[in-house]
């Protein structure tokens, strides 16, 4: 097998160290698994904005160079010149064989420049809100020679609607099989995510309010933090649901998985997701899901997809009153993700 490639990952952010569990978890899992599966290939990560220190460091055997752009718009042209200059030095030491950028934004733009400069293929993974009308890079890059990877059919369809071009591949961020403990499922409804308007967690609160009319003892948890935290807590207080909804704040991934394995139904009321990696995590931990048709959403015996908010509420109430299956399933295996990208990287 020929797998001695030099793959350069270009991303806005990357974990600052091996304990940084919050920064792009699916990318972390992918790179660790890829490194294990193809040990002769070299991986180099160029992180544009985060970590916030300029440094070169080792992350699970992978070389990372952080440029600490800190999302300062006025200094971006200078940042881009520094990255291109550093990439030239890296390429002289060991030639790039493929560039993989994340988000169809500045990373894809610089990836396109480097791809031409070093005459190597460029793969770009769409990651979420980069597939929106407001993203000027969509128009800038839509006719460039880049292999576009969508994370889901929903995202691929949205990319086509905006560009009139199909994504070259649909590759989910996969997850490894998670050992599920046979513990008591004492949490009725669980929601996990950033507390921002896009995630629509007010619907979660309205749902709990409706269920308490006949089931006043329902136990629910909302894990995460964000700018809407205070307003959501105020809404819970106004509706008298303090005994029903527990805000958990930020939890590490291990704690989230333990919480998932104590829960029955995963409620995800977001109106938009590029992927929704948390869906894969929920299924792998035995949960049943209620969501809208966003991100990874697809027909499945443990996944119930709503058409509107009324439908969402009715589905969740019916599911709450049903006998549920808590067997873990994994429709998005990490090995498949690794092998699909290996094929794009022309490892054979």
Could you please report the per-residue DSSP string of 75-103?
GHHHHHHHHHHHHHHHHHHS--SEEEEES
Lay out the sheet containing 122-125: strands in order across: 55-59, 62-66, 42-50, 6-13, 98-102, 122-125, 147-150, 169-170
Residue 282: which domain range? 187-320
Spatial distance between the Cα atoms of 44 and 120, rounded to a whole number of angstroms: 15
pLDDT band at residue 23, thresholds of 50, 70 and 90? Answer: very high
Residues 260 and 338 in one domain: no
Which pLDDT score, from 0 to 100, does residue 176 have?
94
Residues 34 and 125 in one domain: yes
CB 275 within 8 A of CB 127: yes
Residues 57 and 86 in one domain: yes
pTM (2 decimals)? 0.93
Residues 51 and 28 in one domain: yes
CATH number of the domain residue 210 falls in: 3.40.50.2000
Residues 156 and 11 in one domain: yes
Residues 146 and 195 in one domain: no
Which pLDDT score, from 0 to 100, does residue 1 have?
46
Question: Does some domain include residue 313?
Answer: yes
Residues 34 and 55 in one domain: yes
Average confidence (pLDDT) over 128-148: 87
**Residue in the structure block whose two tokens are 């105020």:** 234
Q: Tell me 172's DSSP state.
A: P
CB 325 within 8 A of CB 302: yes
Spatial distance between the Cα atoms of 3 and 243, rounded to a whole number of angstroms: 55
Residues 36 and 123 in one domain: yes
Question: Does some domain include residue 325?
Answer: no
Residues 48 and 127 in one domain: yes
The string of pLDDT tens digits covering residues 303-320 is 999 999 999 999 999 999
Average confidence (pLDDT) over 182-197: 95
Residues 126 and 240 in one domain: no
Lay out the sheet containing 303-306: strands in order across: 245-249, 220-223, 187-192, 263-268, 288-292, 303-306
The string of pLDDT tens digits covering residues 196-237 is 999 999 999 999 999 999 999 999 999 999 999 999 999 999
Give me the phi and psi of 122, to 5 degrees please.
-130, 125
Q: Is 107 left (phi over 0), alpha (psi -120 to 50) or beta?
A: alpha
Question: Does some domain include residue 121?
Answer: yes
Spatial distance between the Cα atoms of 316 and 335, rounded to a whole number of angstroms: 32
**Mean pLDDT score of the chain:** 95
Question: Does some domain include residue 72?
Answer: yes
Question: Does some domain include residue 327?
Answer: no
Residues 197 and 134 in one domain: no
The domain tally of the chain equals: 2
The string of pLDDT tens digits covering residues 100-124 is 999 999 999 999 999 999 999 999 9
């Amino acid at each position: 097998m020929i797998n001695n490639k030099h793959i350069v990952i270009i991303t806005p952010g990357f974990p600052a160290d091996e304990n940084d569990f919050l920064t792009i978890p699916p990318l972390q899992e992918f790179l660790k698994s890829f490194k294990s599966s193809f040990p002769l290939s070299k991986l180099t990560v160029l992180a544009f904005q985060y970590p916030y220190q300029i440094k070169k460091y080792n992350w699970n055997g992978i070389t990372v160079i952080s440029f600490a752009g800190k999302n300062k718009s006025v200094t971006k042209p200078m940042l881009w010149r520094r990255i291109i200059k550093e990439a030239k030095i890296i390429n002289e030491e060991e030639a790039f064989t493929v560039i993989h950028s994340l988000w169809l934004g500045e990373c894809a733009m610089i990836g396109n420049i480097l791809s031409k400069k070093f005459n190597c293929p460029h793969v770009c993974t769409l990651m979420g809100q980069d597939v929106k009308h407001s993203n000027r890079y969509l128009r800038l890059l839509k006719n460039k020679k880049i292999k576009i990877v969508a994370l889901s059919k929903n995202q691929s369809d949205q990319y086509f609607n905006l560009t009139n071009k199909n994504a070259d591949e649909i590759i989910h961020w996969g997850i490894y099989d998670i050992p599920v403990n046979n513990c008591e499922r004492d949490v009725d409804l669980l929601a996990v995510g950033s507390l921002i308007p896009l995630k629509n967690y007010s619907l979660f609160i309205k749902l709990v309010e409706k269920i308490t009319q006949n089931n006043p003892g329902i136990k629910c948890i909302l894990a995460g933090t964000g700018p809407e935290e205070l307003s959501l807590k105020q809404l819970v207080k106004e509706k008298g649901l303090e005994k029903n909804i527990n805000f958990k704040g930020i939890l590490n991934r291990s704690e989230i998985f333990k919480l998932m394995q104590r829960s029955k139904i995963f409620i995800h009321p977001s109106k938009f997701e590029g992927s929704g990696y948390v869906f894969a995590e929920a299924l792998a931990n035995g949960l049943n899901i209620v969501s809208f048709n966003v991100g990874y959403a697809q027909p499945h015996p443990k996944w119930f997809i709503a058409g509107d908010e009324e439908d969402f509420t009715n589905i969740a109430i019916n599911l709450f009153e049903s006998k549920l299956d808590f067997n873990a399933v994994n429709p998005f295996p990490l090995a498949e993700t690794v092998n699909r990208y290996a094929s794009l990287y022309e490892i054979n």
